[in-house]
Amino acid sequence: MAFSQDKLLIFVLLIFCATTSLSARPRNRQYTPPSVPHLTDLFPHVSISNGFSNIFGAKNFQLTGNGSMATLALDKSSGKYRSGLASKNEYYYGFFSAAIKLPSGLSPGVVAAFYLSNANVYPHNHDEIDIELLGHDKRNDWAFQTNIYANGSVSTGREEKFYLWFDPTAEHHQYSILWNNHHIVFMVDNIPVREYQRNSAYPSVFPSKPMSVYATIWDGSEWATHGGKYPVNYKYAPFVVSFADVEMSGCVVSNPTGTCSKTSPSNLDPVEGQEFATLSKEQARALDWARSKLMFYSYCKDVSRFKVLPPECK
């Protein structure tokens, strides 16, 4: 039986509403993560007031909890629309972690980041290991992006993106990076979501120079949400991110020659300890779970961007 125009219009509207409702649902609340060892329990917390120095957006930076927690705000008064902290030390390998609570409400274009970089020292061939949390519009969740640069510029990044299985604005969650001579592992609440292994066949693509640790919030309107489709709307500002439970255990570079000394009071060594050279069986299973359930972008599958895929993708 043919539809009348009125019935057809109603039918189309119902389909549109159902599709909109489904796309607006949180994509990250339906999974229970597997059990894994808690690496964040193995290393000591570092006081933010002792481990970091304020580098920009001073008016939008506040310390609380006797220096154990910091809030950073993004608004139009932020220098270049960003605020952040840099570690007092440079590190060559180690375990780096922070408990982060993200801004609530609409946050397209907002980027909260916890990362390592030496771009200030090597502006044209820098290394970088990024955790970036990308703000959302009203129909999507925050995205968790990882990225790696080695001896390169921003055009050589190796991005992978994931959805989260929790609301990152409700409370603090742990975001961690393990970096040593064997691999780089990105973790969320101790669940490995990405492992980037060092390969002797192409060592130049593995970060190999000392880096500082950064905690920032900034305006990523040009690219962060749907490729820049949704810029930051400052009528919702300030956007406030909270950092706590910071851990930085590894080799601290103490002289111009690049040699480093271990300063962590932990009896475990994330740099040379064999227990950190490979993933455990539980971690490997959790990694497979995260990548099958949560990953929605990998540079290794982006054939429109790379005419020849990077060597580690083959």
Which residues are 54's β-sheet partners?
A: 85
Identify the CA nearest to 72 among candidates 83, 88, 64: 83
Q: Token match 């509207």: residue?
A: 13
Which long-range contacts does 173-176 make (Cβ < 8 Å, 24+ apart)?
173/99, 173/100, 173/101, 174/40, 174/97, 174/98, 174/99, 174/100, 174/245, 175/97, 175/98, 175/99, 175/100, 175/114, 175/131, 175/133, 175/144, 176/39, 176/40, 176/95, 176/96, 176/97, 176/98, 176/247
How many CA atoms does the CB half-sphere of 238 hold within 13 Å?
19
Q: Which residues are catalytic?
A: 128, 132
The secondary element (H helix, E strand) that includes residue 194 is strand 191-197
String of DSSP letters for 38-98: -GGGTS----HHHHEEEEE-GGGEEEEGGGTEEEEEESTTSGGGEEEEEEEEEEEEEEEEE
Exposed, middle or buried: residue 65 (CB in 10 Å: 0-12, 13-18, 19+)? exposed
Helix (H, G, I), strand (E, B) or coil at 254: coil
The one-letter amino acid code at 262 reads: K
Identify the CA nearest to 237 among candidates 135, 159, 94, 157: 135
